[in-house]
Amino acid sequence: MIELIAVSKTYAGSNIKAVDGLSLKISDGEIFGFLGPNGAGKTTSLKILTGVLKADSGQAMVDGTDVSLDPIAAKSRIGYVSDNPEAFAKLKAVEYLNFIADVYGLDSEQRHKRINDYSSRFEIRDALSSSLASFSRGMKQKLFIVASLLPDPQNWVLDEPMVGLDPKAAFALKSIMRNRADSGKTVFFSTHVMEVAERLCDKLAIINKGKIIFIGSFQELKKLEGEDTSLETLFLELTEKSGELAGNGDAVL
């Protein structure tokens, strides 16, 4: 279970709130999609949730634990795929996976099984003895997804995970997301891929300029805005509308 409560963040040297009083709750068993235009505040929110960044105010809770008060307990319940899988270039892929397994305290049986299973699923098993520097963008993305799954986390948090994935890997990712949610785990991911969000998510939040402008299911969004409309059209309409309102100094939805 994930909860953000009135979270705000302004980056040093900026006078704009990257995240502005954002609240949302994701229950166990849900796939929750986080949508919004470039610069809306998705990555900033996910970094606050995963303890990478500190909020100026508000709380980020993981299974009832406040990330800023007990970061180790909260982080041990999260698997995280960041938006920038560029780190650790000098390591071999298998060394990186073992490092992550060490961080989460996995025993050798668990780590061997999960490394084998997930790297086979994402078709990078044969490349594990190569250095990360030799990996393509998509292979790196697959490796970081595999790494995030090693602790079998209760909460799986992914920042634009589809980027760079081939269709087979994207399909594998979506299947794993569904299976995990169906087994009572939480999946929280940001994306710009509207078809994925429309088909996969149990709930969605749309964020613009740091604020939530819609939260609910796709069905609820359609009821609100028009039954025969795609998520892409609804997204464009809503973000346009809230941008105009915010521009006029009025409250957003």
Ligand X SMILES: Nc1ncnc2c1ncn2[C@@H]1O[C@H](COP(=O)(O)OP(=O)(O)OP(=O)(O)O)[C@@H](O)[C@H]1O
Look at residue 39 and give the partner it binds from ligand X, Mg ion, none, a contact being a CB closer than 5 to 8 Å depending on partner kind.
Answer: ligand X
Whichever of 205 and 221 has its CB closer to ligand X, that residue is 205
Q: What type of residue is 58?
A: G
Whichever of 14 and 129 has its CB closer to Mg ion, that residue is 14
198 CB-near residues (< 8 Å, 6+ apart): 218, 230, 231
List 31, 32, 35, 36, residue binding ligand X (CB under 6 A): 36
Whichever of 38 and 248 has its CB closer to ligand X, that residue is 38
List 2, 4, 7, 18, residue binding ligand X (CB under 6 A): 18
Long-range contacts of residues 234-240, Cβ cutoff 8 Å, at least 24 apart = 235/35, 235/194, 235/206, 238/206, 238/208, 238/213, 238/214, 239/36, 239/37, 239/206, 239/208, 239/213
Nearest approach, Cβ of 37 to Mg ion (angstroms)?
A: 10
61 CB-near residues (< 8 Å, 6+ apart): 1, 2, 3, 4, 5, 67, 74
List 44, 50, 119, 208, residue binding ligand X (CB under 6 A): 44
Look at residue 171 and give the partner it binds from Mg ion, ligand X, none, a contact being a CB closer than 5 to 8 Å depending on partner kind.
Answer: none
Look at residue 14 and give the partner it binds from Mg ion, ligand X, none, a contact being a CB closer than 5 to 8 Å depending on partner kind.
Answer: ligand X
Q: How far apart are CA 103 and CA 181, in angstroms?
A: 24
List 41, 79, 151, 161, residue binding ligand X (CB under 6 A): 41
User: SS3 of 2, please?
Assistant: strand
Please state, as a whole number, how many other Cβ atoms lie within 10 Å of the Cβ of residue 166.
12
* Site for ligand X, residues 210 to 239, rule: CB under 6 A: none
Stretch that binds ligand X, among 20-28, 41-49, 87-95, 119-127 (CB under 6 A): 41-49
Look at residue 219 and give the partner it binds from ligand X, Mg ion, none, a contact being a CB closer than 5 to 8 Å depending on partner kind.
Answer: none
Q: What type of residue is 148?
A: S
What are the residues binding ligand X (CB under 6 A)? 11, 14, 18, 36, 38-44
